Amino acid sequence: MFVGASPWYRNEWTIKTPYGIMEEIIETGFTWILEALGTADDSIINTFLPVFTLNQLPWENATETLYRLIQMTKCYLRPKPSKTFKVVYPQTADVADHTYYSYQAHYFKEYTEKKNELVPNRIVVFANFDPLVESTWAGKLTGDTGAYSGQYVEVIENFIASSITNQTDVDNRAAAILTRIRSESLSAYLVVPHDASVELYDKVSIDDARGF
């Protein structure tokens, strides 16, 4: 657990990316391993330089700190054996990690896919603003995922990221929030016999040749 404002971490607040800070916590703070980023680069996790303060909440532990960092991105952390963590960046174009067929093991018993309406469907982020000092948003930065163009009413949700000071980063924060909401919305479920090879955030493909 991190207690107080350690000078050792203080020097990392504005000169490291989210990936760099996570690496510092995981590998230096716990002597575990954070795998190389590889292709899991969402153009935020190893580019954005946040103004990041440890122990923002009372008695903030490492899990809460890592969660705050990953929330700034479109990525996820996946624990692996031997105290190793991997950064995962799920995308529609990803090759399936597992394919389940109706005519060969693992036979799936049921598969249901849903098309859910995303709520909220538009994200607006306000940045470069200190509510304790300033009283107006005039001239401040705004990141917007853009007008909703679907079949239903537009639902906007606002977020504040006071420490972001440039337009690219505030646009990326809005996109990251909407991407995370979309990816965490339930769209399908699959019932199969237990398969121990499936890992968190794996992509699954379904091949149903039974015919109805």
Query: What are the residue ranges spanned by the domains of the chain?
Result: 7-88, 98-115+186-207, 122-183
User: Rounded to an integer, what distance in angstroms lies between the CA atom of residue 168 and that of residue 175?
Assistant: 11
pLDDT at 63 over 50: yes
Q: What's the mean pLDDT in 82-100?
A: 91
pLDDT at 134 over 80: no
Q: Which class in CATH covers the domain with range 7-88?
A: alpha beta
User: Rounded to an integer, what distance in angstroms lies between the CA atom of residue 164 and that of residue 173?
Assistant: 9
Q: Nearest 5 degrees, angle CA 199-CA 123-CA 200?
A: 5
Contact 69, 21 (CB under 8 A): yes
The β-bridge relationship of strands 84-88 and 33-34 is: parallel
The β-bridge relationship of strands 98-101 and 84-88 is: unpaired
Q: Report residue 160: phi and psi, to 5°.
A: -120, 130
Contact 129, 162 (CB under 8 A): yes
pLDDT at 136 over 70: no
* Whole-prediction pTM: 0.80
